Amino acid sequence: MRLVRFLAWPIVAGLAIAAVVLWREFRPLSPGPQPTTPRPEMLGGPAAVQPFAEERVSYASAVQRAAPSVVNIYTRKLAPQQRSPLHNDPAFRRYFDQSARPQQQRMENSLGSGVIVSSEGYILTNHHVVANADEIIVLLADGREAEAQVVGSDPETDLAVLHIAVKDLSPIPIGNSSQARVGDVVLAIGNPYGLGQSVSQGIVSATGRGLGLNTFENFLQTDAAINRGNSGGALIDAYGNLIGINTAILDETSSQGISFAIPVKTAIKVLEDIVREGHVVRGWLGVQVQQLVASALREGGVVPPAALIIIEVQPGSPAATSGLRSGDIVTHINGDPVLDGVHSTNLIADLKPGDSVNLRVLRDRQTLTINAIVGVRPAVTAAGIPVPQSGARSESPSPP
């Protein structure tokens, strides 16, 4: 019993000391003076709002640089009013007005976008935006309106050049579409569904795409949202430089994240040719080619990843003059392996008439080197119909 009493006091004293220590450690602190929240009248307006401490991620500077150059395009065209199928039925003809009045017409409206590329008033847009339009109205980003005239159109790339007589324009900075890389951030600016200028953001998903929509294609693919009305608008890089003209989506019902733009390199060449020559000047050899399948490549002993077989040589063409024949297999153009028909068509078309082009071909399993002098590709009308030139007949739209 004495032992219990002897040990009880130290235990009680220890518990008391522990309780005091714990209370001092965890007791509520005095709130002390608190900073006062400034009232609205103390802020002095929006200018007094403090900026974020961290850097804000934004493409506002790029948009601010490019947006004044992007315009909304509204077109109108008169279309014949279709008659009722009963109009020519003798049993119902008497119920229709038989007066000799002209056939009724209706007005069709469409919309699109465009890009100011020159302070002189030149605008790039898509051919399909302005094709067959009776009236074209351009709405600038600053609210001004102007009637536009078609300087020229190139259905083979789906590009058109407009002109407006307006002063104090803001031409867009031109970028380098050849340096576009998969993964680069891009912004699409246009007039989707007629809502007014809008911006969407994405990345370059692929380069060098061909869809078979136009004769000459080298599309930049992007997942930036492009909708009806965006056609002809700007695809810019993260710094506000134009790298493409928005032109197509894969399918309106299932193309989420798959949109296409014409590289600015192609667009500027079309613009310069149309303004200077009235039409686009392209190189031409006068052959029709077809892609060789892998099995045919192996049988022919072709080493490059692809090759083209010539299926027709047009009489009097540069190809015929150089000695090219039907059945020749083209493996290299100017020392570079042939990739595909689209790439080769673009390569030949980009050459200037009068340039010499070196072709490596296989003929009867023998390798030959043929030099050809590039000619002028036959002109094409706005409807996409080749215009025959003297000395050569027109070819189908696809071959080089």
DSSP character at residue 224: S
Q: Rounded to an integer, what is the distance from CA 209 to the centroid of its chain?
A: 11
Each as own residue / partner, the long-range contacts of residues 177-182 (CB below 8 Å, 24 or more positions apart, any chain) are: 177/220, 177/243, 177/244, 177/263, 177/264, 177/265, 177/266, 178/263, 178/265, 180/204, 180/207, 180/220, 180/237, 180/243, 180/244, 180/263, 181/207, 182/206, 182/207
> Is 231 annotated in the active site?
yes
DSSP label at 392?
A: B
| 279 is an active site residue | no
Q: Are 325 and 363 in contact (CB under 8 A)?
A: yes
* Angle, vertex CA 178, rays to CA 351 and CA 186, nearest 5: 145
- Residue of 69, 198, 205, 231 marked active site: 231
Q: What is the DSSP letter of 389?
A: B
Closest CA to 244 of 263, 258, 267, 222: 263
200 is annotated as an active-site residue: no
Task: State how far the Cα of 210 lies from the Cα of 398, in Å rounded to an integer.
Answer: 12
Q: What is the CA radius of gyration of the chain?
A: 34
3-state secondary structure 127-148: HHHHCCCCEEEEECCCCCEEEC
Annotated catalytic residue: which of 110, 113, 127, 128?
128
Residues 308, 311: Cα–Cα separation, whole Å: 9
286, 300 Cβ separation under 8 angstroms: no
The torsion of the CA quartet 228, 233, 237, 241, rounded to 10 degrees, works out to -170
Distance of alpha carbon 86 from alpha carbon 94, whole angstroms: 10
Active-site residue among 110, 113, 158, 322? 158
Which are the catalytic amino acids? 128, 158, 231
